[in-house]
Amino acid sequence: MAIREISYRDAINEALREEMERDPTVCIFGEDVGRYGGPFQVTRGLYERFGEWRVRDTPISEEGFTGMAVGAAMTGLRPVVEIMYNDFVTLAMDQIINQAAKARYMFGGKARVPMVIRTQGGAGRGNAAQHSQSLEMWFVHIPGLIVIQPSTPYDAKGLLKSAIRNDNPVIFIEHKLLYITTGPVPEEEYLIPIGVADIKRAGDDVTIVATSRMVHFALQAAGELEKEGIQAEVIDPRTLKPLDIETIVRSVKKTGRLVVVNEGHLTGGFTAEVAARVQREAFDWLDAPIMQVATEDVPIPYNRQLEWEAMPSAADIIQAVKSVVYR
């Protein structure tokens, strides 16, 4: 298999392009996604290739075009909506939560809403409180939605292709600071199944479950810990819902220790959800309390030092690991 190094951004672009070539019902809606090529240049070249009806530059009307995608999805299209920052999803929430997520069940299984909402989240760039949130758990809470957060170009491409082919509304959350990161991606077509975690690094002493950009922080922490003789296993669920709890539990049964890392806020967050599931399914295997590393329960501040303090860091992960391996 021919493998190249490409960016996260380009991997997403390839996924969109391939799916649009393959299926004429795949359409993109969003602000500046067409002529400009996307605010983060993710949709570059697609407008030129597929034209304005397949790649629609919309007015700044998030509720309107997200709802349009719901209607279009119910009637035969496979829309991919881009919400520029996940923070703006607030404006489209009714369409996602009350309409897209509910239609199938509420209508007795008759409706299908095959749409994807692509957006990006995360802090670390000084974008302050309204442009830096990690809102994945809002969607994880809602039955009927699938939630994906890729951490690498390879995962982003394979999972987005699966998301577009999936018949449910899928929330696909990218990370603003991952767009320029690169990684190996095969030339050949591949799909990654939704709901399957990936073990990013094997180890026997402690399990670290991390999502999105935090996977990279966890790997960095694992590298440091190795120097001190601690072997961490790093698991990226990739899909937050449905969650591949089996892979996580299997690892915890091996290591006996778990640290969960997520960029969302601590309270009511992903780390609490994983901790609850693991203690239920692997209580007898745990040798230490489950540690949670998450963003402080404060809005993301603008100032650089305050922002760094608010977010999880590799040092926070190392500290959490040491506290559960008792070193």
Partner 1 sequence: MTLDRAKLADMYYRMWLIRHFEARARWLFQQDLVRGSTHTYTGEEAVAVGACAALNRDDYITSTHRGHGHCLAKGGDPRRMMAELLGKATGYCKGKGGSMHIADLDLGILGANGIVGGGIAIATGAAYSAKVRGTRQVVVCFFGDGAANQGVLLEAGNMAALWKLPVIYLCEENQYAEFSPSRPFFAVERLEQRALGLGMEGIPVDGNDVLAVYETVRQAVERARAGQGPSFIVAKTYRWEGHTVGDPLTYRPAGEAEQWKTPERDPIARFGKYLVEQAGFSPAELEEMNQRAEAEIEAAVLFAMESPEPAIATLWEDVYA
Ligand X SMILES: Cc1ncc(C[n+]2csc(CCOP(=O)(O)OP(=O)(O)O)c2C)c(N)n1
Burial class (CB in 10 A: 0-12, 13-18, 19+), 185: buried
Rounded to an integer, what distance in angstroms lies between the CA atom of residue 154 and that of residue 11?
Answer: 7
Q: Which does 127 bind (CB under 5 to 8 A by kind): partner 1, ligand X, none?
A: partner 1
298 contacts partner 1 (rule: CB under 8 A):
yes
| Of residues 19-58, those binding ligand X (CB under 6 A) | 31
| Of residues 144-173, those binding partner 1 (CB under 8 A) | none
Among 14, 19, 31, 62, the one annotated catalytic: 62
Q: Which amino acid is at 257?
A: R
Whether 62 sits among the annotated catalytic residues: the reply is: yes
Which helix (H) or strand (E) segment holds residue 157: the answer is helix 153-165
HSE on the CB side for 306, CA within 13 Å?
11
Whether 131 sits among the annotated catalytic residues: the reply is: yes
Q: Which does 297 bind (CB under 5 to 8 A by kind): partner 1, ligand X, none?
A: partner 1
91 contacts ligand X (rule: CB under 6 A):
yes
Long-range Cβ pairs for the range 300-303 (8 Å, 24+): 300/123, 300/127, 300/128, 300/129, 300/132, 300/133, 301/128, 301/129, 302/126, 302/128, 302/129
**Is the bond into 242 cis (omega within 30 degrees of 0)?**
yes
Among 131, 175, 216, 265, the one annotated catalytic: 131
Near ligand X by CB under 6 A: residue from 18, 41, 64, 88:
88
Q: Which amino acid is at 282?
A: A
User: Which residue lies nearer to partner 1 by CB, 88 or 285?
Assistant: 88
106 contacts ligand X (rule: CB under 6 A):
no
Report the catalytic residues.
62, 131
Positions in the binding site for partner 1 (CB under 8 A): 31-32, 35-36, 39, 57-64, 87-88, 90-91, 125-131, 296-299, 301-306, 309-310
